[in-house]
Structure 1
Amino acid sequence: MFVLAKGGEPLMPCHQARARELLAGGRAVVARRAPFTIRLKHRTRAGSAVEGVQLRLDPGSKATGIAIADERHRNGPKGRTAVARRGLITLELRHRGQQIHGGMVRRAAYRRRRRSANLRYRAPRHDNRPRPDGWLPPSLRHRVDSTTAVVARLCRYAPVREIHVEQVAFDTTAFAGVMPSCVQDGIEPTYAASEVPQFLRAKWKRSCAYCDATGVPLNIDHVRARSRGGSDRVSNLVLACVPCNQAKGTAPVQEFLADRPARLERVIRQLRKPLQDVAATNATRLQLVKALATQSVPVHAWSGGRTHWNRFAMGLPKSHTLDALTNGVIDHERGTRSSGYPRRS
């Protein structure tokens, strides 16, 4: 629980049982309910031992993990000193990027109508003005602003000394899986370096992806129709004969191939994950670190590989809050899955 001094200054967080004891004894009052914060009646900041805490972040496309932790030096076997990191408070911030994007799409549709409607009001105009440096779409700006606002609020309720953020950079070309001038999935280099139609002919061996028909006209079909949010990426394109293309239409491929599970598994295996989340993370990672630097608290950025190694070494499951807690440098035994001290032989 967050604890405030008599004058409202942040003190070290306490356990829930300790907070209930202070409230029951009349030594503290509830200062805020979300997040739950108590204020001591007779304790000042000068008369308290405040060691400070660390605020750790794991930014994501749909959610951001936040962990408040402290580190203490402990003496282990054979005089070995280790730094023990203890998680005090964890929370997960859910973003509304998809809702904002949907609202902007609807607004664009309403405004697009004005271009062809004969209205007597102000004529519609296009937003052709240059955008400033560092501009982000509202759906991405929301991720940075909401995270920064929560961090600023937590800094008012906890004695934050440092901010540690995981700065992940994804390689979108590795996710796309299409590499020109190289052999991939058994395709000759000459075909891989050619245009998209020739690439699809080589990938599907000039046959229909849904019925294996050959020697017939083949069309390029979207596995996930564009009307359902599909893209024009090569991984979302297949070759289909005219009857299969017309029979499928805009229906989901799961419905079209419901009676042929083996064929459905083959087509799904060719697909790749969409890159919206990857693009959102890449676009906001630098802006988030720059925004956190305005909190007058030292900010440290760490790679995602270090976080993955820390989580793997300690045998922790994958989650945003645990990733936030394990980012940065952790004193653990190399090559083991335990974060504790080695057992005596």
Structure 2
Amino acid sequence: MSKVFVLDTNKQPLNPIHPGRARMLLSQGKAAVFRQYPFTLILKQEVSRPAVVETKHGRSLLRIKIDPGAKTTGLAVVNDATGEVVWVAELQHRGFQIRDALTSRRQLRRSRRNRKTRYRKPRFLNRTRPKGWLPPSLNSRVANILTWVKRLSALCRITAISQELVKFDTQQMEDSEISGVGYQQGTLAGYEIREFLLEKWKRTCAYCGAKDTNLEIEHINPRSKGGSNRLSNLCLACTPCNQKKGNQDIKDFLKGKPDLLKRILAQAKRPLADTAAVNATRWNLYENLKKTGLPVEVGTGGRTKYNRTIRGLDKTHYWDAACVGASTPEQLVTSGTKPLLIAAKGHGTRQQCRTNKFGFPIRYCKRTKFHKGFQTGDIVKAVVTSGKKIGTYVGRVATRATGSFNISTPDGLVQGISHKYCTHIHKKDGYSYAA
């Protein structure tokens, strides 16, 4: 399991400890649970000389490592001195949900306004945007990561941050003359290009769609017929397709499949949608991380994959995070480490009423958040002892004024649970959790 965070009586972070040690402190009554997610203890008695994280030249060496993504971001806390991975997590963003909600609202508003018979002069450029402004769907990704950086900094002694700033070093892949052949053909060049192509072609053969097989880099226009090594001329192909195509022109190879030919040529020139979202937020995130006052190291996606490959780790968001940057220890201690799965859920809605499909109000929304001591978004445990729904349910709760709640569990939605059976596990903080 991941280490357990510990705070002293003044809520100052101490050494993360082994789960077995945490159980002993709880059983002896020396500590209490401070937070459920991430699991944190607070000591009941003051420690005169608390243990600190292993140091080098008098400084603790815990580092937060971040692998930002459009949909999921990997987070890791790594001890630079020992190589121990203290804590890992995957943070699922809701940027695309925000984008869809704003699009729906805009469409409803325009539809209502267009139905008005009176003429209203259109308004344009009536709002100014501050410097560094990001759309809400992109800003939410940055805000989510910053929230967890601040939380982790409050739970353990963080001294540095590593961020994957760019997914692909396109200069290193495209133009060798900027800094010489040695820069392009360095250790990471092949990793940059291959990782880009794997994401762009979704890890499938461009010609037959084969998955879970060895994929080779294929020149769409063969080198022997004037094709280049530019990314727009590269795709992925399984070994049989690559050998079958040989040095044929793609138009000759796929002359009997015009639809496939059209799709491949279009895909070769199409940028990555998720990468566009990451690129739009990466510098904003970097500037905000620097404001924390901690030194910020940056690295590329190619280096992350190189670090992960030579250390023999699986392809996951959290192991990618642990391998970000040149500071990655030679040996990572990962035994028993389990990720915390975090999903951003937001803090509810500001709508004062609910609308029908045409955008017209149909019912009023009460502004009261708390019902029977609970609010929507709390994580609760319900032990039902009577009735048709006898059992134990754990999940996020949706409250009602009547006291009959709904609980979203991993197995589905359970409706009509009385508040009398519910106890708090974790107060609402805008996220849901799973081990």
TM-score bin, normalised by smaller chain: 0.5 to 0.7
C-alpha spacing 1:302/1:94, structure 2 compared with 1 (3 Å) = same
CA distance in 2, matches of 1:315, 1:68: 19
Alignment pair present for 1:284 and 2:281: yes
Residues 144, 288 of structure 1: 8 Å contact kept: yes
Residue in structure 1 matching 2:65, options 49, 56, 64: 56
Output the CA distance in 2 between the equivalents of 1:162 and 1:20: 29
Q: Residue 8 of structure 1 is aligned with which of 2, 11, 29?
A: 11
Shift in Å, 1:103: 0.5
2:38 to 22, 35, 40: 35
CA contact (8 A) 1:3 1:10 kept: yes
Other-structure match for 2:221: 185
CA distance, structure 1, for counterparts of residue 63 and residue 329 of structure 2: 16
Contact 1:167–1:303, Cα closer than 8 Å, also in 2: yes
Structure whose residues are more often helix by fraction:
1
Residues 250 and 261, structure 2, Cα contact 8 Å, conserved in 1: no
In structure 2, C-alpha distance between the alignment counterparts of 1:86 and 1:128, rounded to whole Å: 53
Contact persistence 2:162–2:297 (CA under 8 A): yes
Unaligned runs of 5+ in 1: 73-83, 178-182, 190-201, 213-261, 333-337, 341-345
Scaled by the length of structure 1, the TM-score of the pair is: 0.64
Q: Work out the number of aligned pairs and report it.
A: 253
**Aligned position for 1:321:** 318
Residue in structure 1 matched with residue 149 of structure 2 by the alignment: 151
**CA 113–188 in structure 1, closer or farther in 2 if over 3 Å, else same:** farther
Question: Which structure would you say has the larger Rg?
Answer: 1
* Residue identity matched to 1:9: Q
Q: 3-state DSSP class of the match of 2:99?
A: helix
1:202-221 map, 5 Å: none
User: Tell me, what secondary structure is at the counterpart of 2:116?
Assistant: coil
Counterpart of 1:98 in structure 2 is 96
TM-score (norm 2): 0.51
Aligned ranges 1:11-160 → 2 under 5 Å: 11-44=14-47, 47-51=49-53, 52=60, 53-72=62-81, 84-118=82-116, 125-160=123-158
Return the alpha-carbon distance in structure 1 between the equivalents of residues 113 and 124 of structure 2.
10
1:295 is paired with a residue whose SS is coil
For residues 13 and 126 of structure 1, the distance between their equivalents in structure 2, rounded to whole angstroms, comes to 54
Q: SS at 1:330's partner residue?
A: coil
Task: Assess, with a 3 A threshold, how the Cα gap between structure 1 residues 144 and 331 changes in structure 2: closer, same or farther.
Answer: closer
Q: CA deviation at 1:70?
A: 0.9
Which runs of no fewer than 5 residues in structure 2 stay unpaired? 54-59, 175-195, 202-218, 228-248, 334-435
Deviation at 1:111, TM superposition (A): 2.1
Distance change in 2, residues 1:11/1:185 (3 Å): same
Alignment correspondent of 1:197: none
Q: Does the aligned pair in 1 maintain the 2:80–2:329 contact within 8 Å?
A: no
CA positional deviation for 1:135: 1.3
CA contact (8 A) 2:220 2:250 kept: no
Supply the distance in 1 between the matched residues of 2:6 and 2:319 (Cα, whole angstroms).
23
Give 1:158 shift. 1.2
Once the two structures are TM-superposed, the CA of residue 129 in structure 1 deviates from its matched residue by: 3.1
The percent of aligned pairs where both chains have the same amino acid is 37
| One-letter code aligned to 2:38 | P
Task: Report SS of the residue matched to 2:138.
Answer: helix
1:315 Cα deviation after fit? 1.8
C-alpha separation between the residues in 2 aligned to 1:119 and 1:92? Answer: 51
Could you say what secondary structure the match of 1:10 adopts?
A: coil
Contact map agreement 1:313 1:339 (CA 8 A) in 2: no
Contact map agreement 1:29 1:40 (CA 8 A) in 2: yes
Give the C-alpha shift of residue 271 in structure 1.
4.8
Asked if structure 2 preserves the Cα contact closer than 8 Å seen for 1:115 and 1:124, the reply is no
Partner of 2:304: 307
* 3-state SS, counterpart of residue 142 of structure 1: helix
